[in-house]
């Protein structure tokens, strides 16, 4: 799998988060098609990360996942007894016009449920500033409100926020399976 330098930075950030990973830990990635890997089978960031940290990582990302649907799944995910969760969510909420306040409430509740069980969480922002700047003015403002929601949640729960895993991959066809999915 070819990855951008930004993906390598992401990998290193997560490796620091998981310093001391062992096979006894259960690491789960949750999110939308950016996590599940739209049209790429085994070339997902969870699969790549698993190789880099030499530990099994379960990819429970789902195409079309939104914050409210993920929130409903969290109790069953917690029954799996994860030790770490990498959480990437929000793209579908944004594109399907979920109110930012509703998204933030859902995200806060998701993280609260996870951290209440003493599970470590890393939060991934689904876009970067380059993507935001490429959008029309109104969309950009809403997207920046989403970014604020991520930052607020990260600070509130004292969890890591990876703000730029995609880098310029969104604008480079060699990293994309379609118009929206860098994998």
182 belongs to a structural domain: no
Q: Is the pTM of this model over 0.85?
A: no
In the predicted structure, residue 60 carries a pLDDT above the cut 90: yes
- Whether pLDDT at 3 is above 50: no
Is residue 52 situated within a structural domain? yes
Q: Containing domain of residue 101, as a range?
A: 5-16+25-174
Distance from CA of residue 125 to its chain's centroid? 6
Pick from 119, 118, 122, 117: nearest CA to 10: 122
Q: Is the pLDDT of residue 9 over 50?
A: no
Q: What is the CATH number of the domain that holds 38?
A: 3.40.50.1110
Looking at the domain assignment, is residue 181 inside a domain? Answer: no
C-alpha–C-alpha distance, residues 107 and 49, integer Å: 23
Does some domain include residue 135? yes
Q: Residue 52's pLDDT band (boundaries 50, 70, 90)?
A: confident
| Pick from 54-68, 87-101, 123-137: least confident | 123-137
């Amino acid at each position: 799998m070819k990855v951008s330098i930004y993906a390598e930075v992401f990998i290193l950030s997560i490796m620091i988060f998981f310093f001391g990973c062992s096979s006894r830990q259960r690491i789960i990635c949750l999110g939308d098609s950016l996590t599940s890997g739209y049209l790429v089978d085994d070339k997902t960031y969870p699969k790549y990360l698993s190789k880099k940290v030499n530990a099994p990582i379960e990819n429970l990302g789902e195409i079309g996942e939104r914050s409210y649907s993920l929130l409903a799944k969290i109790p069953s995910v917690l029954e799996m007894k994860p030790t770490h969760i990498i959480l990437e969510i929000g793209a579908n909420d944004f594109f399907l016009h979920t109110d930012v306040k509703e998204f933030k409430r859902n995200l806060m509740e998701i993280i609260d449920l996870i951290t209440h069980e003493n599970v470590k969480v890393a939060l991934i922002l689904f876009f970067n500033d380059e993507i935001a700047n490429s959008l029309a003015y109104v969309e950009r403002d809403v997207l920046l409100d989403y970014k604020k929601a991520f930052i607020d949640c990260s600070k509130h729960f004292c969890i890591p926020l990876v703000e730029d895993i995609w880098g310029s991959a969104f604008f480079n066809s060699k990293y994309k399976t379609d118009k929206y999915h860098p994998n």
